[in-house]
Structure 1
């Protein structure tokens, strides 16, 4: 009888140990899944977004119509300065960008050549995950890219909600239309952009050649 009691006690102990090991193993798997950080969603190859941008240093406000068209190698920022001018910023994947106004009383154009083209759809690859935070009323996953941008993406829809540059310049995403395409005629720079380019000559054009990476820190 004593042998049977000891045997039953030993089996019970082994069963308890086995249950504990299974529970620990299950908890370990849960922890492992939690540690795996999400990655930012790749930008769609064509989209339209309305952005509200505020510069905390100057208090300047802008509304921007962003048209991104990777298929055709082009990006347009239609920048409306508060109570000011409407500026077209047309960027091409060959490295050429045109900044111009379409105002009958005052027309201006500036042409700049960069070393690289427009942002790639996967430009957020390699960003550091910072966790989840609320911004503009949305629960977002947050990433930090290199040394110039904090990017907020809605947890539920995975749409961009907000991003902030290292300067503090804050971008609020008001709309995000995947697949929207702007008609070709809207991308064409006016004739006086090209006339000005011919007058300036190649030497002056070279002096304005700089890396798009430094420019994009404040203009994405």
Structure 2
């Protein structure tokens, strides 16, 4: 199988705003808060001025991660990125019955995917939120609210920025919504390689991080 449903939801450089504040001498270096095992986040995505909104469903116990993205004024919304812990992903657009898949070889992000390996950059104001900031693997910069410990923003090295609008801990999507549509598979059980317009679906790092 290939990426459509598995991973990737996300998030890296292109940092904006004031530089991170230096930590006070003697203060312990904070560690990133692990993601809850299940959550639903609403994201506003900005990719070099191209805007979209996305629902991110993360289900670690179920071994699955789903992004449902609606591009600004797109007639064929929504676009699904359905990722699984077995390394399979499905990408499909129901309005066009278009689907492709990919076997990426790694599963979804672990709840503690930022640790170890994340480099602490200090505290920084992010759109009015006082945040701890980490960078990891020259791929992503991650902003976490100092008080609530919830993610505020992710910046990817590609320039894609994800703004977290809501973060519902423990929210679960019904099982039926995770099923890739039948046109993603051939009659003999293989994967249908249906051509479709290109989408940048790499805004969430995989568990290889």
Q: Which moved more, 1:191-200 or 1:178-187?
A: 191-200
Is it true that 1:93 corresponds to 2:85 in the alignment?
yes
Check if 1:66 corresponds to 2:56.
yes
Give the alignment's Cα RMSD to 1 decimal.
1.8
1:157 partnered with 2:142: no
The match for 1:210 is none
Q: Measured at CA, do residues 199 and 37 of structure 1 come closer, stay the same or move farther in structure 2, by a change above 3 Å?
A: closer
1:192 aligns with 2:154: no
Q: State TM-score, norm by structure 1.
A: 0.73
Q: Does 1:75 align with 2:60?
A: no
Deviations 1:41-60 (A, max 9, x none): 0010100000001012xx21
Q: CA deviation at 1:136?
A: 1.5
The runs of 4+ residues in structure 1 deviating greater than 6 Å are: none
* Cα shift at 1:182: 0.2
State the partner residue of 1:219.
Answer: 204
Q: Please tell me whether residue 44 in structure 1 is matched to residue 36 in structure 2.
A: yes
Structure 1 unaligned blocks of 5 or more: 1-29, 205-214
Instruction: Return the structure number with greater helix share.
Output: 1
Provide the residue aligned with 2:132 in structure 1. 141
CA distance in 2 between counterparts of 1:62 and 1:170 reads 11
Unaligned runs of 5+ in 2: 1-23, 194-200
Higher Cα Rg, which structure: 1
User: For the residues of structure 1 that align with 2:32 and 2:86, how far apart are their CA atoms?
Assistant: 26
* Partner-residue secondary structure (3-state), 2:147: coil
Give the whole-Å Cα distance in 2 for the aligned partners of 1:199 and 1:142.
40
